[in-house]
Every structure is written in structure tokens, then in C-alpha cells.
């Protein structure tokens, strides 16, 4: 999903100013944003998984 959005953004940037936009600093910044967002998603998924494991363990102990 993130890669598709990034690709669309790059295509839109090239279409606007004939290839000047979407290269260089803006593209690098966008890549950093995409990577940070992906890492945040991984961290969130890990937190959800950890919470599920803790919940399952407490349920098993309760039974």
C-alpha cells in the first residue's frame, strides 16, 4: 500500500513539472517518511501481537 502511494506520488510529481519535481531532496524526504511509517506500522503490529500473547496467557492462567 505504501509503495503504491509513493509510486503515484512520484508519477504525479514528474507530470507537474516535467521531471524536476520528484527527484532529489523531495524524493529522499518522501522515502524517509515512507520508511518511518513502515517501521511505525511494524512496531504497532508487534505491540498488538504482544498484547494478544499477554491476554492469552492471562486467560489460560485464569482457567
User: Which has the minimum average pLDDT: 1-5, 17-21, 30-34, 56-60?
Assistant: 17-21
CA distance 37 to 44: 10
- Check if the beta carbon of residue 6 is closer than 8 Å to that of residue 30: yes
* DSSP classification of residue 23: S
Say what the pLDDT of residue 28 is: 81
**Given this model, what pLDDT does residue 49 score?**
96
Q: Which residues contact 3 (CB under 8 A, 6 or more apart)?
A: 34
The pLDDT-based confidence of 43 (bands split at 50, 70, 90) is: very high
pLDDT in tens, 11-29: 555 555 555 555 567 778 8
What whole-number distance in Å separates Cα of residue 17 and Cα of residue 2?
Answer: 23
Q: Is the pLDDT of residue 38 over 90?
A: yes
pLDDT reported for residue 55: 94
Amino acid at each position: 500500500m505504501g509503495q503504491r502511494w509513493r509510486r503515484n506520488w512520484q508519477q504525479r510529481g514528474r507530470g507537474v513539472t516535467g521531471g524536476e519535481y520528484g527527484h532529489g531532496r523531495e524524493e529522499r524526504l518522501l522515502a524517509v517518511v515512507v520508511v518511518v511509517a513502515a517501521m511505525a506500522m511494524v512496531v504497532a503490529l508487534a505491540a498488538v501481537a504482544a498484547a494478544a500473547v499477554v491476554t492469552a496467557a492471562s486467560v489460560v492462567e485464569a482457567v
